[in-house]
C-alpha cells in the first residue's frame, strides 16, 4: 500500500486523522511512520496534547497491521485491546510516530492463527519523536477479527 493511499484511507475512515492533520510519511513492510503538526494538537502549555501523541502512536501501530493484513489478503476488523504510553519529554513542535512489530517472528503465527480461527492478537511498538529525538514509547496489543469485505 502506498503512503498516499493509506493517508486517504485514514482521513476518510477515521475523522480524527483529518482533525489532527495526520500525514503518512512512510509505509514499508517493517513499519509505518505518521506525522502531525503541533497547531491542531497543542495544549495549554504550547506542547503536544498527550492524547494526540497517544493517538498518533495508536494510529501508526494500527496502520502497520492494517497494511500487512491487506497485503496478505486477510479481511479483518482490527481493534486495539490494550496499550501503554511512556511520555519521556514534552513535544514542542511537529511530531511523528514510527511503528514496528514487537517481534517480526510473531507475524507468521498471527496470520496462521487468524486464518484458522478468525481471531488473533499481535503486539506493536511505536516511538514518538520530535526533532529527531525520541519523546515517548508506545506498546499496544491489537486484535484482528474475521470480517467479510
Residue 29 has a pLDDT of: 82
**42 Cβ partners below 8 Å, 6+ apart?**
48, 49
- Per-residue pLDDT in tens (0 to 9) along the chain, 149 residues: 789 999 999 999 999 999 999 999 999 989 999 999 999 999 999 999 999 999 999 999 999 999 999 999 999 999 999 999 999 999 999 999 999 999 999 999 999 999 999 999 999 999 999 999 999 999 999 999 998 65
Count of other CB atoms within 10 angstroms of residue 37: 15
pLDDT score recorded for residue 149: 55
Predicted confidence at residue 148, as pLDDT, reads 67
* Per-residue pLDDT at 147: 80
- Contact predicate 131/93, CB 8 Å: yes
Amino acid at each position: 500500500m502506498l503512503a498516499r493511499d493509506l493517508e486517504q484511507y485514514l482521513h476518510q475512515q477515521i475523522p480524527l486523522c483529518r482533525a489532527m492533520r495526520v500525514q503518512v510519511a512512510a509505509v514499508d513492510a517493517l513499519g509505518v511512520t505518521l506525522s502531525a503538526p503541533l497547531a491542531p494538537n497543542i495544549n495549554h502549555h504550547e506542547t503536544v496534547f498527550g492524547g494526540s501523541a497517544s493517538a498518533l502512536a495508536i494510529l501508526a501501530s494500527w496502520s502497520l497491521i492494517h497494511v500487512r493484513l491487506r497485503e496478505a489478503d486477510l479481511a479483518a476488523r482490527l481493534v486495539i485491546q490494550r496499550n501503554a504510553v511512556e511520555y519521556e519529554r514534552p513535544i514542542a513542535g511537529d511530531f511523528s510516530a514510527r511503528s514496528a512489530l514487537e517481534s517480526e517472528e510473531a507475524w507468521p503465527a498471527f496470520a496462521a492463527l487468524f486464518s484458522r480461527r478468525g481471531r488473533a492478537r499481535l503486539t506493536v511498538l511505536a516511538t514518538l519523536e520530535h526533532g529527531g529525538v525520541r519523546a515517548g514509547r508506545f506498546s499496544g496489543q491489537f486484535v484482528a477479527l474475521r470480517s467479510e469485505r
